[in-house]
Amino acid sequence: MSPQQEVEPSQAFQSEGGFESTLSSVYDDLQDPGYYAQFYMLYPEALADNAINLSGVARYDGPPRNAAREHLNRWGAHYESINKANVLLSEIGSFEADTTFKREIRGEASFLRALNYFDLVRTKAYEPGVAVDGFTQGVILRETPTQSSEQATQFKSRAPVSEVYDLIESDLRNARDLLSGIGNSRFKANEAAAQALLAQVHLYRKDFDDAASTATAALESAESNLDADLLEEGEYVEAHVGEVMSSAIFSLDMRPEFDGDATSVNESLSSLTHDPASFNFQLLPTQDLISAHEDGDVRLDLYETLPSGNTRINKYTQAVGSYTDNIPVIRAAELLLIRAEARFENGNESGALEDVNTLRSARGLSEVSLSGESLIEEILRQKRLELAFEGERFFDLKRRGMDIPKPQVAIPDLSYEDRRILAPIPSTEVQLNDSLKQNPGY
């Protein structure tokens, strides 16, 4: 892959401002509509069983049907961000600056590189230790900067999934340690965010002891450093419709004046899911999702039946500005559910049940007494309800090797062995690089 933007160190990194500008550019990449500002929040809902497109409209018509190549196909843009992070990590070592500044640059760049690689590998590959028809390839690994056309044409093949996860885990451990005690803002990489993503990575790797302990550490760090907690029943709805999600551990700071594409009537989350006056109001919660709630669940208050008979979800309400909402990427309730699942898989059913009942109580529900298959089903159901329209449902089913239920459309459930479980690599990239192998079936 040839870089779309080359970074010339001799010009860019003569001052702290050069590092800060490049780092800001990597954050800005997250706020692209093709990334967390839209696709990575909505596609995983539509590819699974949480979302359906408005009848009679074309946009988002393909993902609920899992149409061929309708997936999270982002590729080159991830590598642009990774390359910027690689340059920052390469150049900061020889730069003369305050130790805290250098720690922040290293820590934030490591976190952002890990996040991009994590999203690349979980869309384009299976999970560690999993092979379907013997396929175990991950994605291309680039750990050093690409700063010239000559370097860009040094084509590489895909690394094994395990090696990609090794790099992600190493980056997140470095980010956690480097950001300890500094950078306590939910709108930037921080210690708790690095711990939170690391807990998720451990869950994907089925390292359940580490997933549980890291989730616990992240919850403690989030509460002490960011005042981010689970949210109680009485504050749940207000937190979601307000400008800042107080439960968020890492969030995108969206601003209309800076993030025009992502905050427009064409691309914003609010115009697609919340505003019936917008011609782009096209993605609705499924009846199956609504019906999965129990009576008294405060999360039901985020759904509203419109005069048209359609239902909207009130998570993206233009709280910051016109068609603009700050977007939570990781929040505390997800960590509680990561820990619950990890505890269950490790044989600690009492601890898993305690976590589930903690969440249920905070959402206005009575405690339950469950074990075995009924308990893991409840953990996954609570995660589905808690993180609806936050980009996790498809991935939760995929990483557990489950078929994808499709109650909202007249097609069979999507088998885990179906080629459409993986996103294809763009054909132009495969044609350009003889060493790059396409995903099976494409």
Q: What is the CATH number of the domain that holds 389?
A: 1.25.40.390
Tokens of 356: 């589930």
pTM of the model: 0.96
What is the pLDDT, as a whole number, of residue 11?
66
3-state SS assignment for residue 3: coil
C-alpha 12/C-alpha 8 separation (Å) is: 6
Assign 146 a pLDDT band (cuts: 50, 70, 90).
Answer: confident
Domain membership of residue 69 (yes or no) is: yes
C-alpha 393/C-alpha 414 separation (Å) is: 14
Tokens of 431: 């044609």
Domain membership of residue 136 (yes or no) is: yes
Domain that holds residue 111: 13-263+282-432
Q: What mean pLDDT comes out for the span 27-39?
A: 98
Domain membership of residue 7 (yes or no) is: no
pLDDT tens digit sequence for 203-248: 999 999 999 999 999 999 999 999 999 999 999 999 998 888 999 9
Question: How many C-beta atoms lie closer than 10 Å to residue 368's C-beta?
Answer: 12
Report residue 172 CA to chain centroid gap.
15
What is the pLDDT, as a whole number, of residue 2?
38
Place of tokens 């782009």: 280
Domain membership of residue 49 (yes or no) is: yes
User: Dihedral of CA 175/389/331/290: which sign?
Assistant: negative
Q: Report the number of distinct structural domains present in the chain.
A: 1
What is the pLDDT, as a whole number, of residue 260?
87
Domain membership of residue 329 (yes or no) is: yes
For residue 167, what are the contacts with CB-CB under 8 A and spacing of at least 6?
A: 114, 117, 141, 143
3-state SS assignment for residue 168: helix
Assign 257 a pLDDT band (cuts: 50, 70, 90).
Answer: confident
pLDDT tens digit sequence for 360-419: 999 999 999 999 999 999 999 999 999 999 999 999 999 999 999 999 998 999 999 999
330 phi, psi to nearest 5 deg: -140, 135
Domain membership of residue 3 (yes or no) is: no
Q: Please give the mean pLDDT across all residues of the chain.
A: 95
Query: Cα torsion for 84, 89, 92, 98, to the nearest 10°?
Result: 110
